[in-house]
Amino acid sequence: MGTWGTSIKDNDAFADVYSEFFDFYNKGGQPEIISKKIIEDNWEILEIEEEKNSLWFALALAQWETKSLDPKIISKVEEIILSGVDLKIWLSLGASEQDIKKRKIALDKFLEKIKSDRPKAKPRKRKKLKTPIFATGDCLVFKLSNGNYGGAVVLATDNNPETAYNLVVTTRLNQSNKPTIKDFQNTEVLICNFGQWQDKADVTWYMPDLFYKDYADIYEKIGKISVDLEYDNKNHDGKGYLFKPSWTACWGMNNAADKQFESELTKPKPKKTLTIKQLTKKEKWWKVF
C-alpha cells in the first residue's frame, strides 16, 4: 500500500500514474495511446483494492488537463465516487471519521472539476534536465497532524539529470520541539504496520518532478548529518541493504508518519527496530568479529 492522504493527489499510485502520463505526453505522445499503455503496464495496481481507484483518478485528471477525457473513464470515476466504494475502502483501512469527511469533500470537488469544461489543453513541456531536490545527509522537518514535529533524512542522491532521485528515510521523531541534528542522529527509522503494511521500513526513492508544485511548503531542511554508506538506485530489491526501498513521485513522509502514529494509539508498534545510525554509519571493524 502506498502513502495515503485525504487529497486526491496524496497517494503513491496517483502520483506515479500521473507522472508517467505526462512523461509520455511531454515527449509528444498522444493521450489516447498513453492512457492505453498506462492501463496495460499498471495492471498490478488494478488488482490492489486500496490503490486501483487512484489509477482511474490520476488518468481522469491527466486526460481532463489534456482535453482528451474518455467518456468511459469519467463514467468509471463517477461510479466510484457516487457509489461510495472509495470511502468504504478507507473505512476498512481504519481511517478516522474526520479523514472520511475530508476524503468525501475531496472526491466531490474532484468529480465536479473533471466534469467541467477546461478552456484549453495543458501545453507540452520541453524536456528539462533534472537536479535532485536535496543533498545526501539533509535533515528534513515537517509538522505532524498532532501538532508535533516529525523528520526524515536523505540517505542518497542520484545525479543522473534524467532522473535525479533522492533516497529518503522517514524517522520516528514525534516531539513538541523542533528536532536538532543530535535528535536525528539518535532516532529510529519509521517502521510501518498500519493498514496493509507489515513491518516495512519507510525508505523511498523520491522523484523530483512534483516536489515544488505540491510538497515544497511541507518540508524544511534544518541541517545535515554525515552518511557513510552508499545506496544505488539501480538496486531495486535493496539487496545487501537493511531495507527494501519503494519508488514514488509523491513526497508523503509526513502522511506515513501520521498514519503510523495514529495506528499506534490502538495497535502495538512494530517489534522490528532500525536506527538512523544503522543506515548512515559503517560498522566498526571490531564489531565485525
pLDDT tops 60 at residue 255:
yes
- pLDDT > 90 in the chain, percent: 79
Render pLDDT for 4-52 as a digit per residue (tens, 0 to 9): 678 888 888 898 899 999 999 998 999 999 999 999 998 888 888 888 9
pLDDT tops 80 at residue 1:
no
Render pLDDT for 123-158 as a digit per residue (tens, 0 to 9): 998 877 899 999 999 999 999 999 999 999 999 999
Q: What is the mean pLDDT of residues 169-183?
A: 97
- Please tell me the predicted confidence (pLDDT) of residue 6: 85
Locate the domains of the chain by residue range. 12-114, 138-282
List % helix, strand, coil for the chain (3-state, nearest 5). Answer: 40, 15, 45
**DSSP, residue by residue, 89-142:** HHHHTT--HHHHHHHHHHHHHHHHHHTSPPSSPPPPPPP-----SS-TTEEEEE
CA 113 to chain centre: 23
Residue 17 is which amino acid? V
Q: What is the DSSP letter of 162?
A: T
Which residues share a beta bridge with 119? none
CA dist list (Å): 45 to 31, 42, 55, 156, 282 = 20, 6, 7, 27, 37
Confidence of residue 118 (pLDDT cuts 50, 70, 90): very high
Confidence of residue 282 (pLDDT cuts 50, 70, 90): confident
Angle between helices 52-65 and 85-92 (to 10 degrees): 140
Q: What is the mean pLDDT of residues 81-95?
A: 91
- Please tell me the predicted confidence (pLDDT) of residue 283: 74
